[in-house]
Amino acid sequence: MSDDELRARVKAALTSVAAPSPDVGVVSRKARRLRRRRAMTASVAAVVVAIGIIVPLAALVPTDESDHPTPLTPRVTGGRQAMSDFPPATMIAGSRTMLSVTFPDGSTANVTYPSELELGHHGVGIAPNITASVEGTSCGVDLIASRESLEGEYYDGPAALAQYDGPAGTVELWRGTGGNASYYLVYRFQDWWLLSPCRVGPSEGSAELALWAASLSGHQSPDGFLVVEGIPPLVVFSDGPPELYLGGDGIFVQLSVGTCTTSRFDRDASDGVIDICYGREVNMYALADGRDVRNLSKLSEQFEVRRVEPIGEST
């Protein structure tokens, strides 16, 4: 098969896929949501910097556990394990399932949803990308988190190029496979791998690499989630909030913490997207797979977030 023939076959195969028509309204709505989310994140950061104190966010929102007495029977459910995802422990009480989650910044929350949606069954994952930065250095910004080794996909080689001391153990430097970055610092936190892309190698940037290794720490929470901590000058979540994903049949759910400064409700599932703030801490953004919005309506009506413990609050 020649190059031209390969090109023709690829074009024929992809061109024959029936494609939907562009809808300017959909992309406009998504762009507005992205801008709003970015603005809210920025305003939260600005307020925190301006007043110079950490606001006890939990005090701003009542944890209305008593309003929703749901007798729960502990039961560990299995689930499909995929990259960054793991089967979480859930508690099922008939038509309701509760899942305790830990966000990558250490905040915790209990979420409850209709059991029939099986969100936990299809895996819970932290966002593959966690933002972190140290001003003036050549590493970061998007860190890559995974429950599986990413050797061969992101980095490769006969051995690590260098080793550095980190707060939670040795941090290795590997050569990138030629994709996103030339090098990767590879951190291990129990079952998790965390990769920081770097543009400099050990010969030209050993001081930067050592600083990154020493400034990024993390651990695995008791329920299996990854928690990431930055030691100054490293700032984690510098360009995006801590996020979690829940997978369900035909539904994709994104939870982010610390992104709500005002309550907002887009509970109308008819356009395939809902976007809801729970109190002032947790935002739930969910979209339905294609046009199946029936389950999204159920999620809109029955999804609950309770017992939110933002980072810094005692449990």
Measured CA to CA, the distance from residue 247 to residue 249 in angstroms comes to 7
Measured CA to CA, the distance from residue 97 to residue 114 in angstroms comes to 6
- Judged by beta carbon, residue 23 or residue 64, the one nearer another protein is 23
Interaction between residue 312 and another protein (CB under 8 A): no
Give the residue, chosen from 68, 75, 80, 294, that forms a contact with another protein under the rule CB under 8 A.
80
Helix runs in the chain, H state only: 3-15, 24-51, 202-215, 294-302
Asked if residues 229 and 311 have their Cβ atoms less than 8 Å apart, the reply is no
Give the residue, chosen from 40, 41, 44, 84, that forms a contact with another protein under the rule CB under 8 A.
84
Please choose, out of 8-16, 51-59, 164-172, 223-231, the segment that lies near another protein by the rule CB under 8 A. Answer: 8-16
Interaction between residue 27 and another protein (CB under 8 A): yes
DSSP at 116: G
Interaction between residue 24 and another protein (CB under 8 A): yes
Task: For the CB of residue 181, give the shortest distance to another protein in the complex, in Å.
Answer: 8
Q: Please, which of residues 248-277 interact with another protein by CB under 8 A?
A: 249-250, 252, 272
Sheet with 265-266, side-by-side order of all strands = 85-86, 124-126, 243-248, 251-257, 282-288, 273-278, 265-266
List the x/- string, 49-78, binding to another protein by CB under 8 A: ------------------------------
> Is residue 141 reached through a cis peptide bond, with omega within 30 degrees of 0 on the bond before it?
yes
Task: For the CB of residue 57, give the shortest distance to another protein in the complex, in Å.
Answer: 27
- Judged by beta carbon, residue 82 or residue 93, the one nearer another protein is 82
Asked if residues 248 and 122 have their Cβ atoms less than 8 Å apart, the reply is yes
- Judged by beta carbon, residue 133 or residue 146, the one nearer another protein is 146
Interaction between residue 245 and another protein (CB under 8 A): yes
Measured CA to CA, the distance from residue 74 to residue 232 in angstroms comes to 40
- Judged by beta carbon, residue 71 or residue 290, the one nearer another protein is 290
Measured CA to CA, the distance from residue 20 to residue 33 in angstroms comes to 22
- Judged by beta carbon, residue 127 or residue 211, the one nearer another protein is 127
- What is residue 246's three-state secondary structure? strand
Please choose, out of 118-126, 130-138, 155-163, 165-173, the segment that lies near another protein by the rule CB under 8 A. Answer: 118-126
Measured CA to CA, the distance from residue 303 to residue 248 in angstroms comes to 13
Nearest to 198 by CA among 219, 172, 218, 217: 172
Interaction between residue 7 and another protein (CB under 8 A): yes
- What is residue 51's three-state secondary structure? helix
- Judged by beta carbon, residue 218 or residue 247, the one nearer another protein is 247
Interaction between residue 36 and another protein (CB under 8 A): no
> Is residue 233 reached through a cis peptide bond, with omega within 30 degrees of 0 on the bond before it?
yes
- Judged by beta carbon, residue 34 or residue 207, the one nearer another protein is 34
Based on its alpha-carbon atoms, the radius of gyration of the chain, rounded to whole angstroms, reads 21
Give the residue, chosen from 43, 180, 190, 263, that forms a contact with another protein under the rule CB under 8 A.
180
Q: Please, which of residues 127-146 interact with another protein by CB under 8 A?
A: 128
- Quote the tokens at residue 223: 């329920």
**What residue ranges bind another protein (CB under 8 A)?**
1-3, 6-7, 9-24, 26-27, 30-31, 33-35, 38, 80, 82-85, 122-123, 125, 128, 153, 177-181, 245-247, 249-250, 252, 272, 287-292
